[in-house]
């Protein structure tokens, strides 16, 4: 008991010390105090957002380029390329390339440009709808050179059905309530 009384009568020293922080890696500017390092999940989300934005820009550029090429080819071959697509002759891409190669080099469109244009043109819904069995296929001057085969017409019909099915699913998914 005497020890307890002696301890009680002595002035108390602070025995609790706050833990010492290692401040060597901490910056004192106000920017770093408020900014947090992005988490890996946030970085991934940011990359996805950047990819989406890039994709949107690429789509817009492709649309502009297609419109330019459509205008170019519809002026050169007005009986072939119009707002109402007509089935094109098989191999018309080769004929178009030959025609472009007759021009001075600075005025030519590349093979890739012609291919991209024709791919977009022939994959359009309106073009596929024009591919009816027995319909006339035309050359660059708008003259009938062949007929659409049953095989090509069925392929176009199947392609349209698949596209419409995908489109319907996308529209249904957009209108579903999110949990």
pLDDT (tens digit, 9 = 90+) per residue, 59-75?
999 999 999 999 999 99
pLDDT of residue 45: 83
pLDDT of residue 39: 82
Q: Which residues contact 93 (CB under 8 A, 6 or more apart)?
A: 114, 115, 118
pLDDT of residue 46: 87
Write the burial class of residue 66 (CB in 10 Å: 0-12 exposed, 13-18 middle, 19+ buried): middle
Nearest-CA neighbor of 127 among 97, 101, 92? Answer: 92
CA distance linking residue 148 with residue 151, whole number of Å? 8
Run of H or E residues at 125? helix 125-130
163 in Cβ contact with 125 (< 8 Å): yes
Q: Which residues in the chain land under pLDDT 50?
A: 1-24, 26, 32-33
Q: Which residues contact 142 (CB under 8 A, 6 or more apart)?
A: 77, 78, 79, 80, 86
Residue 4 DSSP SS3: helix
Run of H or E residues at 46? helix 40-76
pTM above 0.85, yes or no: no
pLDDT of residue 10: 46
């Amino acid at each position: 008991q005497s020890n307890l009384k002696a301890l009680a009568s002595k002035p108390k020293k602070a025995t609790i010390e706050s833990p010492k922080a290692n401040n060597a890696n901490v910056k004192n500017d106000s920017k770093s105090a408020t900014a947090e390092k992005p988490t890996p999940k946030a970085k991934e989300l940011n990359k996805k957002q950047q990819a989406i934005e890039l994709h949107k820009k690429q789509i817009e550029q492709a649309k502009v380029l297609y419109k330019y090429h459509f205008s170019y080819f519809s002026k050169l071959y007005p009986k072939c390329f119009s707002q109402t697509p007509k089935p094109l002759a098989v191999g018309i891409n080769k004929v178009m390339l030959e025609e472009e190669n007759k021009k001075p080099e600075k005025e030519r469109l590349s093979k890739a440009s012609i291919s991209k244009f024709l791919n977009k043109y022939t994959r359009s819904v309106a073009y596929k709808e024009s591919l009816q069995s027995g319909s006339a296929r035309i050359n660059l001057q708008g003259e009938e050179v062949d007929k659409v085969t049953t095989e090509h017409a069925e392929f176009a019909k199947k392609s349209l059905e698949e596209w419409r099915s995908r489109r319907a699913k996308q529209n249904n998914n957009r209108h579903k309530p999110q949990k």
